[in-house]
Amino acid sequence: MSHHGFCIWLTGLPSAGKTTIAKALTPKLKARGWNVELLDGDEVRTGLSADLGFDRKSREMHAARVTFVSKVLARNGVIPIVALISPYATSRSRARTDIGAFVEVYVTTPLNVCEERDVKGLYKKARAGLIHEMTGIDDPYEAPEHPEIIVETVDRSPDDAAEYILRELERLKWLAPTKEPAAASPVSHAPSAPRATGVTGNA
């Protein structure tokens, strides 16, 4: 296999929508002929980082392990989709450098919305002082300064958010453009180059 994949790295606060968007995005990329592997922070913690806590060093180590796996996958033609809080800019910049083919997606849901969603009830626990090192409450989140893609999730469905990311990936030339859905050809979606070239006006 000669083509190279690329890493889609979703960062954002807890309950921002990283996991949900990653799950919506996965079948859409598969439908375009890509092999996709979802590396969800929580799942990877069980499988690869069970020894780690939530202090800065642990979070950086966790991100470094995910980075390594992503690099291996991407160079074998897979799209790793990472859904990881990854609160530290240095971790993300290391991932960018190490992986190379890297798209940082900032899921930019405001803290108050995340706290309202509180998917795992952790904000409530943190506010009550029952847990500590909760990102956004008593642990830092360094928002990306120059992400390739910024996706908002307020007043927008997860599917819309995933579609928006697809459009952005096309615009950034990581994905080949598709024709309008009605005219889409089933044979034109297989990835064959490290980056999609020959976009509109250049074909």
Pick 30 or 156: Cβ nearer ligand ADP: 156
The burial of 181, by beta-carbon neighbours within 10 Å (0-12 exposed, 13-18 middle, 19 or more buried), is given as exposed
Rounded Cα distance between 152 and 25, Å, is 15
Rounded Cα distance between 107 and 126, Å, is 21
Binding residues among 80-109 for ligand ADP as defined by CB under 6 A: 83
Residue selected from 8, 11, 20, 176 as contacting ligand ADP according to rule CB under 6 A: 20
Pull the structure tokens for residue 158: 């997860």
Binding residues among 8-27 for Mg ion as defined by CB under 5 A: 18-19
Q: How far is the CB of 19 from ligand ADP (least distance, A)?
A: 3
Rounded Cα distance between 201 and 19, Å, is 35
Whether 86 is a known active-site residue: answer yes
Rounded Cα distance between 51 and 69, Å, is 17
Pick 97 or 116: Cβ nearer ligand ADP: 116
Rounded Cα distance between 116 and 98, Å, is 35
Q: How far is the CB of 193 from ligand ADP (least distance, A)?
A: 30
21 binds, options Mg ion, ligand ADP, none, Cβ within 5 to 8 A by partner type: ligand ADP
Tell me which residues touch ligand ADP (CB under 6 A): 12, 14-21, 83, 117, 119, 153, 156-158, 161
Catalytic residue positions?
86
